Structure 1
């Protein structure tokens, strides 16, 4: 499934900057950053549960928030971009 992850971490609180870095690092393991606090990820159900638990253990749930938008299998019809598109086509050919 295609999942869009957005987060807001309070960096004015103690350890906020560290939490912000750790959230970004965790998301980078599963997808691609498309904006400062936005990641696009293609995940299995198991990967989604694992990532969600990992992120929940990183953030301070009283100050920070993470949102998961499940765009499903037909995500190409649901994503529209204006301006520079730095998204990734996970279904296309990969040239290394």
Structure 2
């Protein structure tokens, strides 16, 4: 079952920030500057954490993961916005 995560990051170096941003595009949709919404299986969550661990400087940077619940349940409705709505991209699974 996929859970919805909000992933926020504070990266001090612009080069690492771009690498984190590109990595996160593979796991979810940007919803704010340095904030992504990701619907992940447990294995995908681990792969994302491993990818980010290899990029960030653990003394200077911070990545925060917030589990908001099942993507098809509570997680779908637990994010509320004011102003411009969040544009969700339709994801297509590619099996390699």
Across the aligned residues of Structure 1 and Structure 2, the Cα RMSD in angstroms comes to 1.6
Q: Please, which of 28, 46, 49 is the counterpart of residue 46 of structure 2?
A: 49
Confirm whether residue 38 of structure 1 aligns to residue 35 of structure 2: yes
Q: Please, which of 27, 52, 60 is the counterpart of residue 24 of structure 2?
A: 27
Q: TM-score, normalised by structure 2?
A: 0.82
Query: How far 1:43 sits from its partner (Å)?
Result: 0.5
For residues 9 and 89 of structure 1, the distance between their equivalents in structure 2, rounded to whole angstroms, comes to 25
Q: How many residues in Structure 1 have an aligned counterpart in Structure 2?
A: 86
Range that drifts further, 52-61 or 80-89: 80-89
Structure 2: which 5+ runs fail to align?
none
Q: TM-score, normalised by structure 1?
A: 0.82
For residues 89 and 22 of structure 1, the distance between their equivalents in structure 2, rounded to whole angstroms, comes to 21
Confirm whether residue 78 of structure 1 aligns to residue 78 of structure 2: yes
For residues 42 and 87 of structure 1, the distance between their equivalents in structure 2, rounded to whole angstroms, comes to 15
Query: How far 1:2 sits from its partner (Å)?
Result: 0.4
Structure 1: which 5+ runs fail to align?
11-15
For residues 22 and 64 of structure 2, the distance between their equivalents in structure 1, rounded to whole angstroms, comes to 16
